[in-house]
Amino acid sequence: MILEGCARPPKPAVYRGYRSSHNLPKWLKPYTINGKTYYPLPSAQGYEEVCIASWYGPGFHGRLSASGEIYNMYDHTAAHKTLPIGTYVLVTNLENGKQTIVRINDRGPFVKNRCIDLSYIAAKDLGMIGKGTAKVKIVALSEGELTAFGIKYKNVPNFRQGNFYLQVGSFKIYNNAINLKKSLEKEFNRVEIEPFVKDGIVYYRVQIYLSNDFYKALELAKELKKLRFKTAFLVAK
């Protein structure tokens, strides 16, 4: 029922307000690691990705991150190759259903087939310390805004008060989404269809409203995933 897939490599981005990449702030400039060039995204809106996560801890604790912050392995942060610095993302361990929220403040990981490097505490939340890696889904919740004084966090998620849904299906054919919505409305009070455009294709995402409290929604999502919607995931609006 759910459409999953790794995001395609981003193309060079155009940044409003800057004449060329030469006068971009460091964390927005294209950069090259091991012969490969990465182009940071100008926006995280609508970003979703399924891939392999890893984590980094004591060996980097106290060092400077790409954002200019000092890396603290006990903060809920992460490194990503292209997401804007300051982006908050919901990370779901698809192997055990555990979830956590982190803020992107560093670049990496630069290891083949890995998309996000989590802090120690975030990896612990997801139950992946011992194994070292896990298949995850990351969903952008909010992002930072670039200013002359650095990164200003706009729309910082209030995880106690918001609108949280369980996404249970994604379809290219609208009628299929409608049929699922009608079926779910027999059991749930509020079911919505949200169009989403990716690579020029419109997907119709079917979502069940859970709660306006993040922690309550998280518990409901875990229960529903265990009982019925095994590949579903929590989304915030």
* pLDDT for the residue 159: 52
Residue 121: what pLDDT? 93
Determine contact, residues 137/118, Cβ cutoff 8 Å: no
Q: Tell me what pLDDT residue 152 has.
A: 54
Strands 77-80 and 114-119, by their bridges, are: antiparallel
pLDDT score, position 149? 52
Low-confidence ranges of the chain (pLDDT < 70): 1-28, 143-161
Question: For all residues of the chain together, what is the average pLDDT?
Answer: 80
Residues sharing a CB contact under 8 Å with residue 136, sequence separation 6 or more, in sequence order = 50, 51, 52, 53, 91, 92, 93, 94, 116, 126
Tell me if 163 sits within 8 A of 236, measured CB to CB: yes
Domains in the chain, please, with CATH? 21-153 (2.40.40.10), 164-236 (3.30.70.1070)
pTM for this model (two decimals): 0.59
HSE, side-chain direction, 13 A CA sphere, residue 102: 34
